Amino acid sequence: MEFSSFSSSFIFHFNRFRTIANSFLSQYEPLALLIVPLISLLIAHALRSFLNILHDKGLKATILGFLMTSIKLVPGVKSYIDAEKKKVVEKMQSDGKSKREGWQTELPSTGLGTSILEKMREEKRKDVIWQGKCSGTVYIGGNESEGHFSLINEACSMFAHTNPLHMDVFQSVVRFEAEVVAMTAAFLGSKEKTSGGQICGNMTSGGTESILLAVKSARDYMKSKKGITRPEMIIPESGHSAYDKAAQYFNIKLWRVPVNKSFQADVRATRRHINKNTILIVGSAPGYPHGIIDPIEELGHLASSYGVCFHVDLCLGGFVLPFARELGYHIPPCDFSVQGVSSISVDVHKYGLAPKGTSVVLYRNHEIRKHQFVAVTEWSGGLYVSPTMAGSRPGSLIAGAWAAMMSLGKDGYLRNTKALMEGSKSIQKGIEEIAELFVVGRPDMTIVAFGSDVLDIFEVNDIMSSKGWHLNALQRPNSIHICVTLQLVPAVDDFLKDLKESVETVKKNPGPISGGLAPIYGAAGKMPDRGMVQELLVDFMDGTC
Ligand SMILES: *Cc1c(COP(=O)(O)O)cnc(C)c1O
């Protein structure tokens, strides 16, 4: 009844519209002939942008985004949302503002000379205690004035003035870089009979730069090889956010594919996303969130059969897995010995125990790597060629990485790996014994992620923070992880004791208690409007530095 009256009134209005349009058209026929195609073009354009957004973000996110934009047009709503947003950002920054009091904002008019060293020591003492309390963060064991730590610092200071950009002047660091790359490649499969050329690579400033370069090289290599001009890449949901950075920087469409029940890259789902524009698929060994190795051999097979590049993210695992395998732990092949692997990133500044700012990117052959370089022929500054994102590069860090690898040697890494693997097993076992907690998937290495079905795990994290621990919060599922370092190995028992106590505390006090970040993590995870969460993050960063 209602519907038919609606439809008849619609038809009535439509007919009226048609009559008006017809009389208009007959009057202004020449003009209409011009306007109609123009309007059609406009509509087609709008429709195409809409479809593009739909394609990029998916149906749900597009509708939500549209709804949120509309809601914000209602008077007062935007200012309300902005005010709430500001509150959350301030909470995330806690008392960030007051901390800036007394900060230097201009050069001292008279230089302070060596007296600044004491001032710096004073500042350093204000950092929180990280020794034995931080997940990941500082991978070198011991303290700064002894052993490996002080050796690295000395190596760095010896080469602080050097820059491999000037290879004619600093042959020392040029050689160190080549040797760090060769030694790393050697335990990641370059010595085995690999097909497809000669493995090569460069040192970079960190895992992110290694990944950015591998993605950039894959994009340009696939353009030259297959003529792909609208590149796409497929990343498991557990793959590092450096791939989002790469997608944004290099204008590549990014498909994020959910992981399977074991929290590994889903090979079949990955296959479903491959199309003629695919340049790259990625697997991690292991992934940062849960420390689980993706099915690298199966992904390699997939990459070979479709002729796409395949990057293995060994940022975290590169200096552990080869040694763990040698020690007899079950580690599936995940390096260049796997067919189809075209590039690898491996951080020396994590388990390589080198200074921060050192990583290696490796390629199956020179043909792929050549697409990493930038060569400029028409600059008045002369002929210029540079291998990585930075122009000038810190020779000191290259020297520090070389010193780390040479001083530790294979036996050093084997010894460390044993300690790290056993420490991680104890932590995993200890967590499994806490009834309220579960371990996420089956950790392959030195990262243990855990959550809870009965408690707010972020509340547990807040209590752990109040006890001086710095763990990492994760989502999907809500959980936290600990990345076991040499600093943490002697602290395993303390960690488990504090964790048990924290679980008890949260159990006895259900509901928000800690005044920490738990409510924010909880809310951010549940907010359907991801655009808003993104704005929060940007505002947070913008206010921090
Ligand atoms: C740390 C890490 C990265 C990024 O490294 P940065 O050194 O922080 O830039 C990438 N992938 C994985 C798996 C990592 O653990």
Give the Cα separation of 51 and 350 in Å (integer): 42
Give the Cα separation of 498 and 289 in Å (integer): 22
Give the Cα separation of 433 and 448 in Å (integer): 14
| Domain endpoint, select from 366, 392, 418 | 392
Residues 388 and 245 grouped into a single domain: yes
Residues 68 and 199 grouped into a single domain: no
Closest residue CA from atom 3 of ligand 1: 207
Closest residue CA from atom 4 of ligand 1: 207
Tokens of 89: 């950002």
Given a cut of 50, is residue 316 above it in pLDDT? yes
* CA max distance for the chain: 92
| Domain endpoint, select from 33, 54, 72 | 72
> Degrees (nearest 5) of the Cα angle 444, 485, 149?
145
Given a cut of 50, is residue 2 above it in pLDDT? no
Within-domain flag for 287 = yes
Measured CA distances, 417 to 43, 336, 425 (Å): 61, 21, 12
Please, which pLDDT band fits residue 69 given cuts at 50, 70 and 90? confident
For a pocket test of ligand 1, which of 137, 240, 445 has the largest count of ligand atoms closer than 8 A to its C-beta? 240
Question: Which atom of ligand 1 lies at the shortest distance from residue 314's CA?
Answer: 13
- Write phi, then psi, for 75 (nearest 5 degrees): -55, 135
For a pocket test of ligand 1, which of 347, 348, 444, 445 has the largest count of ligand atoms closer than 8 A to its C-beta? 347
- 6-20, 193-207, 493-507: the lowest-pLDDT one: 6-20
Within-domain flag for 455 = no
Given a cut of 60, is residue 396 above it in pLDDT? yes
Going 185 to 441 to 282 to 480, the CA torsion angle's sign is negative
Q: How far is the CA of 240 from the centre of ligand 1 (A)?
A: 7
Closest residue CA from atom 5 of ligand 1: 207
Domain that holds residue 32: 21-72
pLDDT tens per residue, range 20-40: 666 766 666 767 777 877 888
Instruction: Transcribe 252-292 into DSSP letters.
Output: -EEEEE---TTSS--HHHHHHH--TTEEEEEEESS-TTT--
- The pLDDT, as a whole number, for residue 3 is 47
Helices 492-508 and 457-466: angle between axes, nearest 10 degrees: 120
- The pLDDT, as a whole number, for residue 21 is 63
Closest residue CA from atom 6 of ligand 1: 207
Model confidence, pTM: 0.87
Within-domain flag for 433 = no
DSSP code at position 365 = S
| Domain endpoint, select from 358, 373, 392 | 392
Please, which pLDDT band fits residue 79 given cuts at 50, 70 and 90? confident
Q: How far is the CA of 213 from the centre of ligand 1 (A)?
A: 13
Residues 6+ apart with CB under 8 A from 136: 350, 472, 483, 485
Q: Which residue has the higher pLDDT, 391 or 519?
A: 391
User: What is the count of structural domains for the chain?
Assistant: 2
pLDDT tens per residue, range 129-173: 999 999 999 999 988 888 999 999 999 999 999 999 999 999 999
Given a cut of 70, is residue 514 above it in pLDDT? no
Q: Which residue has the tokens 């335990």?
A: 187
Within-domain flag for 259 = yes
Q: Strand (E) positions, 183-243?
A: 200-204, 232-236
Within-domain flag for 63 = yes
Within-domain flag for 177 = no
For a pocket test of ligand 1, which of 288, 319, 447 has the largest count of ligand atoms closer than 8 A to its C-beta? 288
Within-domain flag for 407 = no
For a pocket test of ligand 1, which of 244, 316, 321 has the largest count of ligand atoms closer than 8 A to its C-beta? 316
Tokens of 418: 């044993």
> Strand 479-483 vs strand 472-474: parallel, antiparallel, or unpaired?
antiparallel
CA 240 from centroid of its chain's CA atoms: 3
Within-domain flag for 249 = yes
Any residues with Cβ below 6 Å from ligand 1, and which? 206-208, 240, 242, 284, 287-288, 313, 315-316, 347, 359
Calculate the average pLDDT of the chain. Answer: 90
Beta bridge partners of residue 282, listed in sequence order: 311
